[in-house]
Amino acid sequence: MKETNKKINNEERYEKVLSEKDIFAIAFGAMIGWGWVILAGYWIRGAGSIGAMIAFVIAGMMIIFEGLIFAELTSAMPLNGGEQKFSMRAMGKNGSFVCTWGIILSYISVTAFEACALPSVLQYIFPGILKGYMYTIAGFKVYASWVAIGSISAFILMLINIKGAGSAAKLQNFLTYVIAAIGILLIALAVIKGDTMNMHPFFENGYKGVLSVAVMTPFMFLGFDVIPQAAEEIDVPLKRIGKIMILSILMAVIWYIAIIFAVSLAMNANEINSANLVTADAMKKLWNNKEIAANIVIIGGAAGILTSWNSFFIGGSRAICALSEAKLIPEIFSKHHKKFKTPYVSILLVGTLSMIAPFFGKEMLTWLTNAGSFGAVVAYFCVAISFILLRKNEPELERPYKIKYPKLVGTMAVLLTGGMLILYIPGMPSGFKIQEFTIVLGWIILGAASYYLSLRKWRKRGYTDEMLFGDIPYYQRKKKKENKNSNEKR
């Protein structure tokens, strides 16, 4: 049956307001966001200049294979919810819940991260911004002004997103141009004035250093998968959506590698180790030690924080709404605003969690990065499995964007994402620390409880899987048909 962007009753749930330029800005802006300003020094210190670039090449390979899969599946099922719709059709409710719960963890981790990252970046420009000491968490002193910046910004973005994706896209386009201009200026100055001798050491901590950076990189590439989350709000031919998605991924891979290269050319190892915000200090050095140069990069970092934050308000709220519509979490999260047609309850949830995050201090940044990366890889692994199953079981499914060599792409995506999951196991050189493990374990327990209670509620009302989920997975339909034929023969 041909998929459409409408509900069964033909009533459109969302306004189609996103153009090609909008969806590229949403995806690319989310991926390049803030990491290049805040974490570039961490990557180079952890793996060396070449080692850090290799880590992003490894992640880029995984994300490109995954992006090809997302491109085909989004064109075949252009419905808000993305991963939830793909995995439900291929694997049923259990696989769909695991997949979607994983991507929601990653999206919420990003939005919470940004609420902590924004005051950290602004503190560089305004050192005296910290006022009203409250308490200390993991060695970080939490100030009332620091919390206020993050929480109030989260509240404003929440209101913008409730008004609709169109309003959010306008903000996204402007900020993405700002980031791109600043990043290109940094790269150009580094090529002209930098020194290749500064790139030593090329590697730090051998393969362990590369892996320690590689496990963080999926978090950096979160963003292209926001496109299928908002598929029903896109006013672009289905085949073009896939091409824009792949382009955004390729541009993001090039961006991160170029930024690492530029910073490595600009500053030697001692300078990187002693710098506060390495990327900003690199620009300052390249621009004859003028403070304004560093502040320009900080402005780019602040813009990047807002672009990724904005994108994941869209992605996170749509993923939560989709899981609610699938009856796997409380129904209230699929409630839409009468005027703006947005899933405002889900947006309120994402916004509230973002407003709470700054109260836990700056150390939350690293914990959320690794926990969110894990959630993303779980979802990507499930989508890769779904792609293989749908190619095998439903070859007749209309796919406006159809990739070549599907077996190779699907197999590589499964192997790369499966291999990446192993790296998070506690005890591995790049495995979870106790705080990250606690976040993930708590999320799993919360998900299991929501899943069980939601299904229990509907079972008590006498609903079956077919009544709840409609188009049940192919393997279940096939088994049901075989049982029916067997009974008829008897």
For the chain, give every domain's residue range.
Answer: 20-478
- Mean pLDDT for 444-455 is 92
pLDDT band per the 50, 70, 90 thresholds, residue 276: confident
- Distance of alpha carbon 84 from alpha carbon 71, whole angstroms: 15
- Read out DSSP for 102-119? HHHHHHHHHHHHHHHHHH
Q: Scanning the structure block, which residue is given the tokens 């049982």?
A: 483
Q: Residue 278 and residue 273: Cα distance in Å, rounded?
A: 8
Looking at residues 293-309, what average pLDDT do you find? Answer: 85
Helices (H) and strands (E) in the chain, counts: 20, 2
Question: CB under 8 Å to 131, separation ≥6 — which residues?
Answer: 143, 144, 145
* Range name among 2-6, 162-166, 221-225, 304-308 with the lowest pLDDT average: 2-6
pLDDT at 364: 72
What pLDDT does 466 receive? 73
Per-residue buried b or exposed e for 191-210, using 16+ beta carbons within 10 Å of the residue's own CB: eeebeeebbeeebbbeeebb
Using CA atoms, how far residue 70 sits from 80, 341, 366, 378, in Å, is 13, 25, 28, 14
**pLDDT digits 0-9 by tens, 145-166:** 999 999 999 999 899 888 876 6
Instruction: Return the DSSP state at 433.
Output: P
Contacts of 482 (CB under 8 A, 6+ apart): none
Give 156's Cβ-side CA count (13 Å radius): 9
Residues 19, 27: Cα–Cα separation, whole Å: 12
Mean pLDDT, rounded, for 325-336? 88
Quickly name the fold that domain 20-478 has.
Amino acid/polyamine transporter I (1.20.1740)
